[in-house]
Amino acid sequence: MSTQPSSPRTTIFGFSPLVLLTLAYPLTLALGSLYSLTIPASSPYNALTQSHDPATAPSYFARKDNLINIYFVKRGWFWFTLALFVFQYYQHYVHTPSTRRLAQAATRYAVATAVWILITQWAFGPAIVDRTFAASGGLCDLSARAAVEEARTDNAAVAAGKKVEGIVTGAGCRAAGGAWRGGHDISGHVFLLILGSGMLVLETVPFVQRRWNNMHIGTKAALGTAALSWWMLLMTATYFHTWFEKLTGLVVAFTTLGVMYILPKEIEAVKQVLGQPGS
């Protein structure tokens, strides 16, 4: 019985991409969190509003209104989708056509998108981040809005209902002029940036090693997007969220990447559906 030779294992400096990512992301979060300890006391982080005061922010990237946060991170899944589409188009349609590999890549992307939706957008009602926040004791605090209304109407009764239980999402709370307070907030930024950039790196690395000196535009787009994501992950680790919030965002992202890229190595039935990049 003849056997086909296995393709060479993809490594970088002797390590697999999965191992490197497993090390790189926690180290990035640790580095940012440690550097945050050097931020002057005059620029404190407000855990309730999850931000620095723009007037005293220690860096442009410590402001929530920085342009990369507004136009890249806030619309992150669009950019990850676009970069992945461009890469897969050039790799599996133009350079090495393969309907099977393209279908498996689309399935992996569908898994990542489904998890992103459930965690941050909608989970048969409020998203999982909102459900977790509420389940851990979080409420929508309308104190700031109530204080403004009290001053405007000179009626102390307006400030009576400072916290409301009817608002069950962070977006709804912000729209009402309040702030999510009191619960555990899984860092959506950490989750998004690790999941998106990890997906792009793991999809492209097997092909980068084969064509390092002749990367097509799809690979460049994917790796460029991943690099910008890493920078914003470092900025998030430095200026936003608590240790535990960042840790839970990391765990959820790693779990998703594990389903997409580790399970197919261990379970043949999963491999038939999801495939493996480069195989």
Where in the sequence numbering do the catalytic residues fall? 189, 241
| Structure tokens that stand for 173 in this block | 């709370």
Gap between the Cα atoms of 199 and 209, Å rounded? 17
Confirm if 43 and 49 have CB atoms less than 8 A apart: no
Confirm if 130 and 170 have CB atoms less than 8 A apart: yes
Q: Helix, strand, or coil here: 120?
A: helix
Gap between the Cα atoms of 108 and 203, Å rounded? 10
Gap between the Cα atoms of 202 and 19, Å rounded? 11
**Residue 182 main-chain phi, psi, to 5 deg:** 100, -15
| Strand intervals (E) in 30-121 | 45-46, 51-52
| Structure tokens that stand for 181 in this block | 């307070």
Q: Helix, strand, or coil here: 163?
A: strand
Q: If you ran DSSP here, which 8-state letter would residue 62 be given?
A: G
In angstroms, how far is CA 188 from the centroid of its own chain? 6
| Structure tokens that stand for 261 in this block | 């890229």
Gap between the Cα atoms of 98 and 35, Å rounded? 46
Gap between the Cα atoms of 47 and 58, Å rounded? 16
Gap between the Cα atoms of 204 and 185, Å rounded? 32
